[in-house]
Amino acid sequence: MMPPLLLTSTGYIVIGVIITSLYFSYRISKRLKDSGCLSIGFTFTLFISVLSIFFSALFITANSSFIYFTGDNYSAKIVGYESYRDRYTGSDNRTRYTTMYIPVLEFKDKNGSIKKVNSSTHTGGVPEVGSTIKIIYSATNNDLVENNIITLMLVIAGLLFSVVFGFLSVALMAYAFGKSMSGFKELFAKSLLSSLPVCLGLFFILLAYSIYQHFVGVTNMPLWALVIVMAGMVGILLALYSLYFKKSPA
């Protein structure tokens, strides 16, 4: 008798997502009257991508929100840092490497115990050992987030991602069961138009904060990146002006 597979709860969730995606992919392809292997494979890739992004965004946002809104505030000292090489593809499709740093933080919790943990923020600039930062620490999760506007913006952005991809997941499931898409299309269009200025505003704040960190010496941004960030901010302002402030001719 073969021993049972030793899977963690995450493993069972992954298997469940794959089986669910295969089932709905088959139903969607059947409704499209194209049940070939290529069609099912493409639909499966689309469905599992949407579902994976939804669950990932939901989990990360829920965890960060729990820490941010229920954790305790502390002032932590940077006592060191770790580094690793991060690979990325440049605009010229060439593989490049950059060094990323993870600050090691030390602080005293409300019980008087000294805690030493890695920051959740990875940065391209070398952390300044000896400096202090504001953090929010959750003893329940034994995890922390930095107490700044970036964390709050990321929580809001993660919530928006969860809502959007959750909506798309429900729409795909409804389509698989033969439901009409007219109501979903209208609701999606209205939601997109109403949330667009919020998303653009949040993105503008994130870009502005990254420039602020550069000029106060927290991060060391290359000139080309600084130019791209500034151009992005100008583009967002022009988009907001054109969409919501520019008056149409009478």
Question: pLDDT category, 4, cuts 50, 70, 90?
Answer: low
Averaged pLDDT, 26-31: 83
Averaged pLDDT, 144-164: 81
Evaluate if residue 2 carries a pLDDT over 60.
no
pLDDT digits (tens, 9 = 90+) for 211-243: 887 787 666 667 777 888 888 888 888 877 776
pLDDT of residue 193: 67
pLDDT digits (tens, 9 = 90+) for 134-150: 899 988 888 888 887 77
pLDDT of residue 78: 92
pLDDT of residue 49: 85
Triad 70, 203, 55: Cα angle to 5°: 55
Averaged pLDDT, 13-26: 84
Q: Give residues with Cβ within 8 angstroms of 135, minimum separation 6.
A: 73, 74, 75, 76, 105, 107, 119, 144, 145, 146, 147
Q: Which residue has the higher pLDDT, 88 or 47?
A: 47
* Secondary structure (DSSP) of 146-170: E-SHHHHHHHHHHHHHHHHHHHHHH
**Burial code of 39-56, b = ≥16 C-beta within 10 A, e = fewer?**
bbeebbeebbebbebbbe
pLDDT digits (tens, 9 = 90+) for 68-83: 888 899 999 999 999 8
Spatial separation of the C-alpha atoms in residues 160 and 154, rounded to whole Å: 10
Per DSSP (E only), the strands in the chain are 72-89, 95-108, 114-118, 132-138, 143-146
Averaged pLDDT, 63-69: 88
pLDDT of residue 217: 67
Sheet containing strand 72-89, edge to edge, reads: 114-118, 95-108, 72-89, 132-138, 143-146
Question: pLDDT category, 1, cuts 50, 70, 90?
Answer: very low
Averaged pLDDT, 154-160: 81
